[in-house]
Structure 1
Amino acid sequence: MSIRHLERMFRPRSIAVFGASDRPGSVGRAVFSNLLECDFPGSIYPVNLHHREVAGRTVFRKAKDLPEVPDLGVICTPPITVPGIIENLGAVGTRAAVVITAGFDEASEVSGRDLESEMLEHAGRHGLRFLGPNCVGLMVPGSGLNASFAPGRPVPGRVAFVTQSGALATTVLDWAAEREIGFSSFVSLGNCLDVDIGDVIDYLGSDARTRSILLYMEALKDGRKFMSASRAASRNKPLVVVKSGRVPEGARAAASHTGALAGRDEVYAAAIRRAGALRVYGIEDLFRAAEFLARVRPHEGNRLAILTNGGGPGILATDELVLGGGQLAELDEATLDKLDKVLPHNWSRGNPVDIIGDAPAGRYIEALKILVASEEVDAVLVVHAPTALADSRTVAEELAPVAAAAPKPVFGCWLGGASAREAYEAFAAADLPGFLSPADAVAAFLALQEYRANQVALMETPSEMPTSAVMDPDSVTVIIERAHDEGRRWLSEVEAKCVLSSYGIPVVKTRQAGSPEEAATLATEIGFPVALKVISPDISHKSDVGGVVLDLESEHAVREAAEGIARRVAMHGNARLDGFSVQQMVRRAHSAELIVGASTDPVFGPVMLFGSGGTAVEVVGDTVVGLPPLNMSLARQMVDRTRVAKLLAGFRHRPAARIDLVCDVLVRAARLMTDLESVESIDINPLLADDDGVVALDARIELRPAEGGPRRRPAIAPYPTHLAESLPFGDGEITIRPIRPEDEPAHRDFFNSLEAEDVRFRFFGVIREPEHSQLARFTQIDYEREMAFIAVDDARRTLGVARIAKDSSGHRAEFAVVVRSDIKGRGLGRILLQKLIDHCRETGVREVVGQVLQRNTRMLGLAEDLGFRLGPIDEDGIREVVLDLAEGREDGG
């Protein structure tokens, strides 16, 4: 992840246009004209070998001829020339470029050179970042920057639009201009050869001019980079995504239920959800959602009241709400009585609140005040159809101040033609969302609920796991190595269950037999009844060949069943028979059959799957996917998104299943996938769940082929277990480990243990008890970008914390350390800071810096002891301390 030099790309002080031209119809002319017409305040230099003057300006031949080093180079020349221009720009000190040129594949084939590789090589050598190639360009309207060949002149705004489609870029610009929508930035990514989606989202996430980010995405190359940037950005501002390519193409892996069910679009949807972003399905939806999210006030709850002057529009809105899975607020008698006092006797006396067609603005206002004050209402949709007695504009103008001051979200739906547009604009002037149809209004409200749920999930504090079974990846090494040595892609069922057991997943007792006679003997040892299953590396689904026989009650029955399986396998082409698995027969009359699985996505790496299991799992189609690592909250969210969740909750005579243990299995299976890079997929199907617990009846584990190279890493950096260590401290022992989301309650107690002076030293001011959102940011960190080590004692108290946040290059990190006030002076701060320094050194950080108050003499002394250089005292009484980790490295970096 790096936004290095992107500031020069988005906020250049000078620009050189390579290929600038006066030739009609040329890209160089369009780009240069756009820059001139948008009144860019800095210097603009045309560069061209074949012109002396363009648009009345002197033309320069090469980068080295320019009177100054341009911050940004815009390249519109033929593909064969671009690598050389990148090299020349880098050599003179330019650090950002936009490559609009297309056609590199064809030009590389003709020239016999890999032109794109040459571009990357030259840019990398000089630290130059470039957008494109094959892009429309970059626009920052508020700065007068239009380095593109798009028509029109976009106006400044607070919305950033990022697109992978050049054709869509020009379409959206035209569409937005008609609707007077402005942009903080407009970015056409092109082929993402260097600067990609992750880089741009990362930059815009901290851009003060951008209130929300809209993204049109076709495909990703680096799932982790996207997730890291998106999760960080969406904590600060709305991120709304349109992902095209929803229909899967090509064959899916049929060898695994999970591989067949976890389709590419479902994985993208899970990633967007996990990032705390909102997915929509059209360009108008994209802007509508952004406007709504930016204007509507934060709230909790999803119960909507509909306030209307017409029964028909109210019913239409209700239909859209209920069919979309929304909730209509149920008004209690107290609220109805209050409305009775201000509304005509023939009002609807229910929700939708139909206040009759002759309703003036005053009637809307009185009803709205009552609704927003009602505990059973979370948001209000105002629907107005124009009448001769109350025109839409007047209603909107008089209602807007009341709606803007309301403690809950209020949004409008204005029906009709020109009058509806005027009412919409009146609401917009008060920074209130408005719509021109009930369907659009309700769709935006439902999108808001989804976005809010994603945001809550992003920062929800997970509970501890319900079981304490140890997860032991080392114990399965022998099993996996043996399978690799034998050239096997699939573990046997017995091996797979051993692996699951090593991760604390309950499995039914299973033994492997090499012959019908041995199967009968093992069945006697296990105890009847038993189930018998075929073991064959060539048979994906046992039941397809009659390879599963249940409820065997005797040795004779087992022997006969095994012989029958052997005959059926012999008829199944060249399938090998490696033996039989004999397992204890589990009879749990009220259990649900579930599937827990994992597969490897080419972009996002390991992907988890959960849903209704059994042999008809694909037919039933009740599955969801999620990205590991999982915790109990994330696992529960996966369960709750399935239909089988209602069955697990219990009904009539059927008691509720142990959903917590189902979630426990999901968390453990996710940990297995992130721990064991040689595992390609997992199928646990069925996993039985009832009020007694869970047990895996069948399991399949596929290994990654040795020749397949390393598996795609998880899209979200997993918990770094290997960094935990135990140390003696005082009269006992403490554990130093990375912080986890589950540490939030202990972190709150830790904060409350700090004296006021220690809080000032850490935060440079007085902070009351932090909100959940603040604590979530402290405990739910992205291990790719930052690190926080905590010291924990035997009572599971947090004694101290040391954290770093890396800059965009990953080479510089800022640290902070704080220790419980009642144990200061015992050396824990030194232990934590040294742990942090060692981690920085191991992960390539070159410089560790900190901001320390001059009055904090204890920290200044510790920093000096550990080799930090102390800077001067600034006007706020703060000293910067710096530790150079690059010194002494042979490679200098």
Structure 2
Amino acid sequence: MPSDHLKLTFTKLFEPQSVAFIGATDTPGKWGFTILHHIFQGGYQGRLYLVNPKRPAVFGHPCVKNLAEIEETPDLAVIVIPSEKVLATLDEVIAKGTRAAVVITSGFAEANEEGLKLQNQLVARAHEGGLRFVGPNSMGIVTSFPHRLISTMGSMKPRPGRVAVVAQSGNLGVTFMSRLERRAIGVSRGISTGNQASLAVADYLDMLADDPKTDIIAAYVEGVPDGRHFLEMTEKAARVKPVVFLKGGKGTKGAKAAKSHTAAVSGSHQVFLASVREAGGIVANSMDELINMIGAFHSNPVPKSNRAGILTLGGGWGVVGADSCERFGIDLPDLPPDVYKTLDDILPSYWSRGNPIDTVATTDISTIPTTLEELFRSDAFDNVLYLGIAYLAFQGRRYMDKGPAHGPLFDKIGQFLVNTEYQMLDRIVELRNAYGKPFFPVADLVSRDEVFPENIVHALEERGIFVYNAPWQAAHGLAALLERANWLKRAQTARTVDVAPDRDALVEAQRLVRNAVGGKRRQLAEHESKRLLAALRLPTTRESEAASVEEAVEAARLIGYPVALKVSSADILHKSEVGGVALNLATDAEVRRHADRLLKQGKVLVQRMAPASAVELLVGLTHDRTFGPALVFGKGGVETEVWADTATLPAPVTPDQAERMIDATRMSKLIAPFRGRPALDRAALVDLLVKVSRLPELFPEVRELDINPLFLYEKGAMIVDAKIVLKNGDENGR
């Protein structure tokens, strides 16, 4: 549950019985004019107080000069005044006892350093006064319950509904709500977060998770100030309702634009995607995808399985639909005998006899509801796709078009087609409701755009059935439902594991790191890095550091041939690039020759040659600016960057998350049995990933770790090379 303060904030923000509008004006072009007009247009039923010391009235409503003239304490203050006046006005709001505000005004952290300082002052004053606020630099808020309040810069009038929209961009928030309205989907709450100075996206997720008026949350995010808290609140909300994200600032240019837009700092997009999905969020790649996903959740229950049956009125759409289902992991089972027999009796002899079911343009329209009923009724299918709905009505409208061949007969045929399909709507809705299966109708865009009273697409959406514009969109909507269904199952069975380090080795390794930090070192040498890993009981190569040729020879004899020699220097991160590695040395003479050469670059590390491995893997730690320490897994070796085959998650990870990281890479296919070779030790790899992910907890001074290569065998694993980068002094001080 949210804190009592946050629950009070939610009530005052989204269920205000009274609102003080500070900056009301009747001057067109000013936001105090536009937003106030939208409040009146929306029909707010609470008590509205207009504050303007220079106007006796605005829009025929009386104004007060300041908050002190208002007899009651307003639940909510909406502030639309110049930035230099906001701080003093916020003091008045706090003094009045109001505990929630929306700061529309811009010119704060998104503008310049002076704006950031002013914003920090706002936050400090608000914190001292027990007030939380939306913004600054917000386009406003929308709430539908208990009183509709449309206090936004954007011109729109969303219908009341069950979808909450949280947007770090006001104009995208308006776009989302406008597009939902176009698809007959209503809004419960709408928030333009602005700079997230007092309330961040995570706070809205926290509040909306417990909002009984909200069933689905749609969020546009550019950057979050506290990544870990954001993930916690995403998971909290996802456990009770779908949460769909669109991420902005994915690339370098987008991240720069986000910084100047809402002062948002974007971390790695790859880490964001993986982290949000692990927390139960669904991620869209575009505005259209987001609306389609919302439509899928709005219209359908969570599916029982990925098995789907397709009815198509055209062969090409069926082919594209089947391809899309395969792309998104949706199974299209063969028709069971009873369904096959029923359809074979009613469809033309040349029907497709498979799934998708192509009705091959039959003129017997009654076969459509019968075929749909067979798909809904059969236990072979848990999801139903109907490709080509509204086509008959569209064709009927074309018959009724005025033209050289127009006449009463064409009007009669056209009206028959329109009426027949319109009458089928009741049967379609009845089937969907009776069987409770997810249903995905698809209509061509031209059918949606047709303007006439009996528009099938509009009628279906008004009845709560979302209609898609293309087969791939329907398959993608079902994929989003399946992703949520799978996550809900995982969330109930998550495994955890305790990591028990070698206590003596841990104490020594922590002392090593403290000394390195105290000496202002930024990297650890390979053998030092492995001491940290050994403290976690991880398998590392047997090795010894030597400062002379004879020491190297003696070490090689003790370790046992064959050996490898490597330059041992914390300043050289990529030894192979400077000729700092010699492999498979089998004699004292070979060790002498190469040690003499390598010792010119520093000390030398003598290492037992690890047995060859079928794969070379990479395991590492990086520091994401949003989520902090993150675990990386993927293809290792010198070509790691070329392959770009990695998976990343915030550390630490559970065994289940480690399994999914492996599966997210192409390397998983090489770890499995391959071309007659037995499977490699996946369990050992999972154990290693889990333990490495705990390293930042035990060594908070570590910023980056690179284990490359990691050898994986049929039994066990071996860390062949490792290097650690430490945080700088400022980072360690935080």
TM-score by length of 1: 0.73
Pairwise mapping of residues 295-374 of structure 1 onto structure 2 (< 5 A)? 295-331=299-335, 336=340, 339-341=343-345, 343-358=347-362, 360=364, 362-372=366-376, 374=378
Call closer, same or farther: CA 1:480–1:622 in 2, change over 3 Å. same
What is the letter of the counterpart of residue 42 of structure 2?
Answer: C
- 1:413 aligned to 2:442? yes
Taking the aligned partners of 2:672 and 2:304, their CA distance within structure 1 comes to 25
Q: Which residue does 2:18 correspond to in 1?
A: 14
| The one of 705, 709, 720 aligned to 1:682 | 705
- 1:623 aligned to 2:646? yes
- 1:584 aligned to 2:608? yes
Task: Report the CA distance between 1:312 and its aligned residue.
Answer: 1.1
Task: Report the CA distance between 1:217 and its aligned residue.
Answer: 0.8
Pairwise mapping of residues 89-488 of structure 1 onto structure 2 (< 5 A)? 89-104=93-108, 114-142=117-145, 143-248=147-252, 264-331=268-335, 336=340, 339-341=343-345, 343-358=347-362, 360=364, 362-372=366-376, 374=378, 376-384=380-388, 386-387=391-392, 392-406=421-435, 408-415=437-444, 417-418=446-447, 422-462=455-495, 473-488=506-521
Taking the aligned partners of 2:597 and 2:61, their CA distance within structure 1 comes to 89
Listed one character per residue, the Cα deviations across residues 273-314 of structure 1 (whole Å, up to 9, x for unaligned) are 122010001122212101202322222332333221221110
Task: Report the CA distance between 1:394 and its aligned residue.
Answer: 4.1
What is the letter of the counterpart of residue 611 of structure 2?
Answer: R
Listed one character per residue, the Cα deviations across residues 189-225 of structure 1 (whole Å, up to 9, x for unaligned) are 1111111111111111111111111111111111122
- 8 Å Cα contact 2:110-2:116 kept in structure 1: no
Taking the aligned partners of 2:707 and 2:230, their CA distance within structure 1 comes to 30
Taking the aligned partners of 2:339 and 2:669, their CA distance within structure 1 comes to 32
- What SS class does the counterpart of residue 691 from structure 2 fall into? helix
Taking the aligned partners of 1:484 and 1:250, their CA distance within structure 2 comes to 36
Taking the aligned partners of 2:254 and 2:108, their CA distance within structure 1 comes to 27
Taking the aligned partners of 1:359 and 1:263, their CA distance within structure 2 comes to 57
Taking the aligned partners of 2:705 and 2:42, their CA distance within structure 1 comes to 56
- 8 Å Cα contact 2:246-2:290 kept in structure 1: yes
- 8 Å Cα contact 1:596-1:687 kept in structure 2: yes
Call closer, same or farther: CA 1:381–1:470 in 2, change over 3 Å. farther
- 8 Å Cα contact 1:19-1:76 kept in structure 2: yes
User: After the TM superposition, which of the residue ranges 143-152 and 95-104 deviates more from structure 2?
Assistant: 143-152
Q: Which residue does 1:537 correspond to in 2?
A: 570
- 8 Å Cα contact 2:564-2:607 kept in structure 1: yes
What is the letter of the counterpart of residue 415 of structure 1?
Answer: D
- 8 Å Cα contact 1:435-1:441 kept in structure 2: yes
Task: Report the CA distance between 1:461 and its aligned residue.
Answer: 2.6
- 1:61 aligned to 2:94? no
- What SS class does the counterpart of residue 435 from structure 1 fall into? coil
- What SS class does the counterpart of residue 461 from structure 1 fall into? coil
Taking the aligned partners of 2:622 and 2:112, their CA distance within structure 1 comes to 37
Task: Report the CA distance between 1:241 and its aligned residue.
Answer: 0.3
- 8 Å Cα contact 1:397-1:426 kept in structure 2: no
**Equivalences, count:** 689
Call closer, same or farther: CA 1:144–1:30 in 2, change over 3 Å. same
Unaligned regions of 5+ residues in structure 2, if any? 256-265, 396-415
- What SS class does the counterpart of residue 561 from structure 2 fall into? coil
What is the letter of the counterpart of residue 128 of structure 1?
Answer: L
More helix per residue: 2
- 8 Å Cα contact 1:414-1:423 kept in structure 2: no
- 1:641 aligned to 2:664? yes
Call closer, same or farther: CA 1:152–1:411 in 2, change over 3 Å. closer
**Pairwise CA RMSD:** 2.8
Q: Which has the higher contact order (CA 8 A, sep 6+)?
A: 2
- What SS class does the counterpart of residue 694 from structure 2 fall into? helix
Listed one character per residue, the Cα deviations across residues 37-78 of structure 1 (whole Å, up to 9, x for unaligned) are 322222111111211222223221221221111111111111
Call closer, same or farther: CA 1:152–1:438 in 2, change over 3 Å. same
Call closer, same or farther: CA 1:533–1:453 in 2, change over 3 Å. farther
- 8 Å Cα contact 1:79-1:107 kept in structure 2: no
User: After the TM superposition, which of the residue ranges 532-541 and 195-204 deviates more from structure 2?
Assistant: 532-541
- What SS class does the counterpart of residue 523 from structure 2 fall into? coil
- 8 Å Cα contact 2:328-2:479 kept in structure 1: yes
What is the letter of the counterpart of residue 406 of structure 1?
Answer: Y
Task: Report the CA distance between 1:423 and its aligned residue.
Answer: 3.3
Call closer, same or farther: CA 1:680–1:652 in 2, change over 3 Å. same
What is the letter of the counterpart of residue 555 of structure 1?
Answer: D
- 8 Å Cα contact 1:159-1:182 kept in structure 2: yes
User: After the TM superposition, which of the residue ranges 523-532 and 288-297 deviates more from structure 2?
Assistant: 288-297
- 8 Å Cα contact 1:594-1:686 kept in structure 2: yes
Pairwise mapping of residues 564-603 of structure 1 onto structure 2 (< 5 A)? 564-567=597-600, 569=601, 577=602, 579-589=603-613, 591-603=614-626
Taking the aligned partners of 1:232 and 1:196, their CA distance within structure 2 comes to 15
| The one of 491, 512, 516 aligned to 2:524 | 491
Taking the aligned partners of 2:26 and 2:649, their CA distance within structure 1 comes to 53
Listed one character per residue, the Cα deviations across residues 575-596 of structure 1 (whole Å, up to 9, x for unaligned) are xx2x12221112235x321111
Q: Which residue does 1:824 correspond to in 2?
A: none
What is the letter of the counterpart of residue 123 of structure 1?
Answer: A
Listed one character per residue, the Cα deviations across residues 649-700 of structure 1 (whole Å, up to 9, x for unaligned) are 1123110111111111111011112332111111111111121121111111
- What SS class does the counterpart of residue 106 from structure 2 fall into? coil
Call closer, same or farther: CA 1:665–1:360 in 2, change over 3 Å. farther
Task: Report the CA distance between 1:562 and its aligned residue.
Answer: 2.1
- What SS class does the counterpart of residue 167 from structure 1 fall into? helix
Taking the aligned partners of 2:571 and 2:222, their CA distance within structure 1 comes to 36
- 8 Å Cα contact 1:509-1:584 kept in structure 2: yes
User: After the TM superposition, which of the residue ranges 364-373 and 199-208 deviates more from structure 2?
Assistant: 364-373
Task: Report the CA distance between 1:408 and its aligned residue.
Answer: 3.4
- What SS class does the counterpart of residue 537 from structure 1 fall into? coil
Taking the aligned partners of 1:390 and 1:689, their CA distance within structure 2 comes to 65
- 8 Å Cα contact 1:688-1:694 kept in structure 2: yes
- What SS class does the counterpart of residue 524 from structure 2 fall into? coil
| The one of 614, 618, 636 aligned to 2:637 | 614
What is the letter of the counterpart of residue 607 of structure 2?
Answer: Q
- 8 Å Cα contact 1:606-1:674 kept in structure 2: no
- 8 Å Cα contact 1:594-1:612 kept in structure 2: yes
Task: Report the CA distance between 1:334 and its aligned residue.
Answer: 6.8
Pairwise mapping of residues 509-524 of structure 1 onto structure 2 (< 5 A)? 509-524=542-557
Call closer, same or farther: CA 1:263–1:335 in 2, change over 3 Å. farther
Taking the aligned partners of 1:372 and 1:113, their CA distance within structure 2 comes to 58
Call closer, same or farther: CA 1:453–1:565 in 2, change over 3 Å. farther
- What SS class does the counterpart of residue 124 from structure 1 fall into? helix
Taking the aligned partners of 2:497 and 2:535, their CA distance within structure 1 comes to 19
Call closer, same or farther: CA 1:374–1:665 in 2, change over 3 Å. farther
TM-score by length of 2: 0.88
- 8 Å Cα contact 1:648-1:690 kept in structure 2: no
- What SS class does the counterpart of residue 639 from structure 1 fall into? helix
What is the letter of the counterpart of residue 157 of structure 2?
Answer: R
- What SS class does the counterpart of residue 213 from structure 1 fall into? strand
